[in-house]
Chain A
């Protein structure tokens, strides 16, 4: 009796078992990463309440929070590589035909003359707006905010 037969006998194919294991591992890794981040934050916030200048996060804290998850991450990487090489994937069922044949055919069409006119008009409008933007200084806004970034605005804090 091969291993494949054993899985079949239990009503589970090897492929499904592989997919299930990797699904669970990915979910577990994510949950553990979230728990590590929240743990560091809560611990750091409690200290900051007493000492306003203390840091909540640091490279050392991040490393110590993530290091225990490294083996799990490596296992997921190895299984992913194996799954890709072996061509394992969830083929699942495609959704049922949700539309009638005439529906799809009626809607699947190439852009017509009206669409082309609209496209050209919007293209001209776009160029005019860009020129107006360069003249009124809104182009400089884009540059300014992209090279001197506000840390809170990008979610750093």
Chain B
């Protein structure tokens, strides 16, 4: 009886792999401050991609998601080749292959935890093996073909996998942002797209409860990419051919749809080491053995390995401590966040209307040089309804709604002032982008310190529309795509 209890408790103890997964999930999302204030991290570390599937719109994300970045790179092919993303994926693939899925990916951890719920489980079979090819179709269509097609044919960035499928994006990004009370305004933009993605996320979550790593096995395009490198990646599970007797226990006990150890479906989790009676399987980095089967090595080597393991964990914890300090306190971008989220200093105008960016407040006056050489001065727009639109060349809904703004501007010309502001970070020249569009209203690129962005409370999310009445008082300030009907209603509301 005591033995059974001890065994149960031992079964609950986290394995080394689980600890590495938890560590990695924390490192991927080291911007913990983001979960408190609801803002995403906007520092330079996002130049770097993380290896696992971890949405960059997650408030905690410290790096860019490789899959989202790949789709955006493909969508920008018309402007510049996405060498950087190709190089990053090649580097991760060659070094780690699908070891990333088994040990590093935060969404892999979530799937495994869901699968721990004690329910009936769907075992692997010919059907699941056939389904495992589906992820290559998802990769080809949603990650490669659609973004490339829209990028080259329509000059529109459309990361189709992120937009229509990615459950990690819905869970970490959308739900992560929405769950923070500071982001109540984001609810205004939710509609059919969000509902579809939420349903997909719930269905995938349910599938993961009943089927081990259902998303990873059947749908994940990132796993499909890394799987291509599995055969020769540096770190991975290796079989000592001299010891292997071909009993197949490794394949039968594996939760993934592998045909042999280390094939494109293998996530190098090294669970097969525990069932190999021949002690033929080990986890290696090149020739260095990272994890050997119990009892397969001499005691002195085991001792050395334990010592090295303790040193490695010590170093890893030091890295984690530094990352947590950097991403939450030290990074200049994080320190700058303090200003962007807070209300502007309360100034009282002559009419006793407080200055600010919320509806009912008078927007602080500003002036900015426009791309056509003119200057937009907010103070000069009194008596007109004012529309300020925050947009970017790489934001699909922003580009789609510009013609609606143009139509509204032309319809009410003389009674309306309008300005579209691009963030100071310019990826594609906005002037060149707008050259053949023929929009009648002025465009500007924000100043280096994003002054306009600060005045209207521009955030890390796009598009955003701000409407002022004839007295310069904010009547609407929302991060949301607009429709012509909405713009008409906003104009009518402000013009009253």
- What is the interface of chain A, defined by CB distance below 8 A to chain B? 18-20, 22-23, 26-27, 30, 33-34, 37-38, 41, 45, 51-53, 55-59, 62, 76, 79-80, 83-90, 92-95, 97-111, 115-116, 118-119, 122-123, 125-134, 136-157
Interface flag for B468 (CB, 8 Å) = no
Of the candidate stretches B155-163, B218-226, B369-377, B405-413, the one touching chain A is B155-163
Closest to A149 in B: B57
A147 — which chain B residues lie within 8 A by C-beta? 40-43, 46, 425, 460
Q: Do A155 and B193 contact each other (CB < 8 Å), given the known contacts A26-B209, A101-B248?
A: yes
A44 to B121, CA, bound (A): 37
- Besides A22-B119, A150-B397, 5 more A-B contacts (Cβ < 8 Å) are A19-B119, A87-B7, A115-B231, A142-B84, A143-B44
CA distance A78 to B330 in the complex (A): 40
Nearest chain A residue, comparing its CB with the CB of B166: A155
A156–B158 CA distance with the chains assembled, in angstroms:
14
Q: Main SS of chain A's interface residues?
A: helix
A154 touches B169 (CB 8 A): yes
**Using Cβ atoms and an 8 Å threshold, which residues of chain A touch B164?**
155
How near does chain A come to B128, taking the closest CB pair, in angstroms?
Answer: 10
CA distance in complex: A137, B90 (Å): 18
Please list the residues of chain B having a beta carbon within 8 angstroms of any beta carbon in chain A.
Answer: 7-8, 11-12, 40-44, 46-47, 49, 55-57, 61, 63-65, 68-69, 72-73, 76, 80-88, 90-91, 93-95, 116-121, 123-125, 157-159, 162-164, 166, 169-170, 173-174, 177-178, 181, 184, 186-195, 197-199, 202-203, 205-206, 209-210, 229, 231-234, 238-241, 244-248, 250-253, 259-263, 280, 392, 394-398, 423, 425, 427, 460-463, 476, 479-481, 483, 485-486, 488-490, 493
| Complex-state Cα separation, A84 to B13, whole angstroms | 11
Contact A152 B157 (CB under 8 A): no
Q: How far apart are the CA atoms of A157 and B72 in the complex, in Å? A: 18
Name the B residues within 8 Å of A127 (CB-CB): 87, 91
The answer to whether A139 and B186 have CB atoms under 8 Å apart is no
Question: Which residues from chain A contact B191 at a C-beta distance below 8 Å?
Answer: 41, 45, 56-57, 157
* Interface residue from A34, A101, A132 paired with B246 (Cβ < 8 Å): A101
A154 and B252: CB pair below 8 A? no
Q: Do residues A84 and B252 form an inter-chain contact, with CB atoms below 8 A?
A: no
A130 touches B88 (CB 8 A): yes
A122 surroundings in chain B (CB, below 8 A) = 90, 93-94, 229
Q: List 28 A-B contacts (CB under 8 A).
A: A22-B119, A34-B202, A52-B486, A52-B488, A57-B190, A80-B117, A83-B118, A107-B259, A107-B260, A108-B241, A111-B238, A118-B232, A122-B94, A129-B86, A130-B87, A137-B427, A138-B73, A139-B47, A140-B425, A140-B427, A141-B76, A141-B80, A147-B42, A147-B460, A150-B396, A153-B157, A154-B169, A157-B191
B76, B116, B392: the one contacting A150 at CB < 8 Å is B392
* A119 and B232 form a contact (CB under 8 A): yes
A134 to B164, CA, bound (A): 29
Closest-by-CB residue of B relative to A29 is B206
Distance (whole angstroms) from the CB of A29 to the closest CB of chain B: 9
Complex Cα–Cα for A86 and B9 (A): 9
Q: How far is the CA of A27 from the CA of B117 in the complex (A)?
A: 12
Per the bound structure, the CA–CA distance linking A80 and B114 in Å amounts to: 10
A94 and B195 contact, Cβ closer than 8 Å, known pairs A84-B116, A88-B118, A154-B173: no
A22→B210 CA distance, assembly (Å): 11
Complex contacts, A22 vs chain B, CB 8 Å: 117-119
A90 in complex: contacting residue of B121, B190, B238, B261, CB < 8 Å: B121
CB-nearest residue of chain B relative to A130? B87
Q: A122-B94, A155-B170 are in contact. Are A149 and B232 (CB under 8 A)?
A: no
Decide yes or no: A143 and B203 within 8 Å by CB, A108-B239, A108-B250, A129-B87 being known contacts: no
By the criterion CB–CB under 8 Å, are A123 and B94 in contact? Answer: yes
Smallest distance from the beta carbon of A100 to chain B beta carbons, Å?
8
> Which residue of the partner chain A has the closest CB to B240?
A110
Q: How far is the CA of A22 from the CA of B209 in the complex (A)?
A: 11
Is B462 a contact partner of A101 (Cβ separation < 8 A)?
A: no
User: CA–CA, A20 to B119, complex, Å?
Assistant: 7
CB nearest neighbor in B for A112: B232
| CB atoms of A102 and B121 under 8 A apart | no
Output the least CB separation between B403 and chain A (Å).
16
B263 touches which of A33, A101, A107 (Cβ 8 Å): A107
The 10 residue pairs across chains A and B that have the minimum distance between CB atoms: A133-B84, A129-B87, A105-B246, A83-B118, A101-B246, A130-B87, A107-B260, A115-B232, A126-B90, A108-B239
The answer to whether B392 touches A41 (Cβ under 8 A) is: no
State whether B163 touches A154 (Cβ < 8 A): yes
Min C-beta distance of B309 to chain A, whole Å = 23
Tell me the minimal C-beta distance from B3 to chain A in angstroms.
Answer: 12
For A56, the closest partner residue in chain B by CB is B191
Partner among A45, A101, A138, A153 whose Cβ is within 8 Å of the Cβ of B159:
A153
Minimum CB–CB distance from A64 to chain B (whole Å) comes to 13
Task: Tell me, rounded to whole Å, the shortest Cβ–Cβ distance linking B336 to chain A.
Answer: 12
